[in-house]
Structure 1
Amino acid sequence: MSTSSFTRLLGLIIGSMVGVASVTALTTAQAAAQQAFVTLNGDLKKEAWWVIADFHPFTTEVRGIPANQIRKSWCKATEFRKDLIPKELLFEGGVDVMQSAGMSFAVEGRFDDTAARQVAVVGVFQDCAGPKGRFILILDHPADGKPKVRFVNAVHTDRQFGALRKGKGGTLVASACMECDESSVLKWDRKKRKFDWVPQADEL
């Protein structure tokens, strides 16, 4: 093999190695970014993970809707999804704790008594100024159009975890934990023509 041919071959090998290294580094960085979506500030032996979880939003839209169109003060908003949370937190003894509790991060339904398909989602937001919190959205989800915001609830809190489930009579039940009795019920008020929280005495 001539010197020039050997040099070209060596260049191709080095180039391939650099390409593989770049892909590996990118994959590692992406995995790290996903893992960083939730960090735990406490001891799992003493507290449930959702109590000590701190979520870090990394997207600028929710279901195609820019965060700053949902609330002008928002720079980031990320919908909770199971694929963003480590499985060892979601499963106990091979059992999906959320599923067994009848809860989800997204619930489809017709929450305002119309024929329109809607979806309720829960997630974490971050203001451009820095503070974070939990949001609940109800979106119209037409088959031939973009989602439209119908309801927004946002609370600044250090405990951003939240989950949803369908309640009686087309209501939506929101909870900030998975194994507790603390929850709030959201219902469509026909007279006021808007979504409103049900007083605790009327929830059952």
Structure 2
Amino acid sequence: MMHDHPVLRQLIRELQLIAALCCILISSAVVARAEQPFMTIEGDTRSIAWWVLAEFHPFTTEVRGIPAGQIRKGWCKATEFRKDLIPSKFLFEGGGDAMEASKQSFAVEGNFDGSSTRQLALVGVYEDCKGARGRFFMILDLPTVGKPRIRLLDAFQMPHQYTALSLDDDKTITLWACMDCDNFAKLKWDRKRHKFVWLSPPNSD
């Protein structure tokens, strides 16, 4: 019989071993993902605001179709903040939408530079290929054809990465490191200098 051939038996054993190893690796990856949620908190949220305690763990390798390594060299992961990634018990504590009440969001869209091209401002968390994590802020051009293009990138390495945005009527973008505090930075398009300018710089602490 064909399966009694020594070479064939060895090949079958090797294939079975490879298949078993693949199953173990896949299972380990699933378990690791399940054990490491996007947001973790160490501390008492009854006495300290959750966004002060929160640490975020990026798990995607691109943002809006742009690979992490193209956003910034040396990045391996980058995940855009989204409401569905934040436990609802924090965002909807008391039954209301805390971000909406603070007039904040994780992404805002508009013509920030007064051009005909739409732009998108968003925030998220990155992890470089050495394991260091931090927050990032991006403004993307949204052309009618083709992929988004990075207009501005600002990133800081830090252990607590919560960031949100709000947009004023005069197209000033405000970055918030909290929902209810005075830790913020403002950015606006400067017509004379033809670039985005920080009216108050972001805090790297």
**What 5-or-longer segments of structure 1 have no aligned partner?**
1-25
CA contact (8 A) 1:163 1:176 kept: yes
Residue matched to 1:132: 133
Over aligned residue pairs, what C-alpha RMSD do you find? 2.2
Alignment of 1:69-148 (within 5 A): 69-148=70-149
Amino acid at match of 2:47: K
- Distance, in Å, in 1 between the alignment partners of 2:77 and 2:200 is 31
State the Cα distance separating 1:144 from its structure 2 match.
Answer: 2.2
- After superposition, the Cα gap between the structure-2 partners of 1:34 and 1:114, relative to the gap in structure 1 and judged at 3 Å, is farther
1:89 partner SS: helix
TM score, norm. by length of structure 1:
0.80
1:158-194 residue CA offsets vs partner (Å, 9 max, x unmatched):
1100000102421101010001122110111222221
2:131 partner SS: coil
State the Cα distance separating 1:34 from its structure 2 match.
Answer: 9.2
1:3-55 residue CA offsets vs partner (Å, 9 max, x unmatched):
xxxxxxxxxxxxxxxxxxxxxxx9xx59x649700000111111111110000
2:113 partner SS: coil
1:93 partner SS: helix
- Distance, in Å, in 2 between the alignment partners of 1:147 and 1:43 is 40
- Distance, in Å, in 2 between the alignment partners of 1:49 and 1:39 is 10
Residue matched to 2:57: 56
**What 5-or-longer segments of structure 2 have no aligned partner?**
1-26
- Distance, in Å, in 1 between the alignment partners of 2:183 and 2:165 is 12
Aligned-residue sequence identity (percent) comes to 55
- Distance, in Å, in 1 between the alignment partners of 2:101 and 2:174 is 16
Amino acid at match of 2:197: D
State the Cα distance separating 1:59 from its structure 2 match.
Answer: 0.6
State the Cα distance separating 1:80 from its structure 2 match.
Answer: 0.2
- Distance, in Å, in 1 between the alignment partners of 2:128 and 2:60 is 12
CA contact (8 A) 2:172 2:186 kept: yes
CA contact (8 A) 2:124 2:163 kept: yes
- Distance, in Å, in 1 between the alignment partners of 2:42 and 2:112 is 36
CA contact (8 A) 2:187 2:200 kept: no
TM score, norm. by length of structure 2:
0.79
**1:176 matched to 2:177:** yes
- After superposition, the Cα gap between the structure-2 partners of 1:34 and 1:177, relative to the gap in structure 1 and judged at 3 Å, is farther
Amino acid at match of 1:159: H
Residue matched to 2:42: 41
CA contact (8 A) 2:111 2:119 kept: yes
Residue matched to 2:194: 193
- Distance, in Å, in 2 between the alignment partners of 1:124 and 1:170 is 24
CA contact (8 A) 1:123 1:135 kept: yes
1:67-94 residue CA offsets vs partner (Å, 9 max, x unmatched):
1111002111000001111100111210
- Distance, in Å, in 1 between the alignment partners of 2:41 and 2:183 is 22
Q: Runs of 4+ in structure 1 displaced over 3 angstroms?
A: 32-35
Residue matched to 1:6: none
Amino acid at match of 1:171: T
Residue matched to 1:154: 155
Residue matched to 2:10: none
